[in-house]
Amino acid sequence: RGTSNFNKKNYKLTKEMFTEMEKDGLIDSKAGFTVEYKNKELYIDGKKQDEKTTDKYRKYFKQDHFKMTIEKE
């Protein structure tokens, strides 16, 4: 039986990351967005982010690959 490894701690961290990204003007939760982390690079809505931005958010990614899409409200 498979279990989701997206537990409460991960949810809290992800929510915190999205809040921070919104403050930085990187995402708009009302418009919807996709955040992806792969090969140690950060993409928001398919656009590769610069190294400074990627470094700031790297702590939130516990796996080598993360992708999440939030639908428009």
- Region 65-72: mean pLDDT is 92
pLDDT of residue 18: 96
CA 61 vs. chain centroid, Å, equals: 8
Helix (H) or strand (E) holding 19: helix 8-23
For the stretch 2-60, pLDDT in tens is: 444 557 778 888 999 999 999 999 999 999 999 999 999 999 999 999 999 999 999 99
Its pTM stands at 0.84
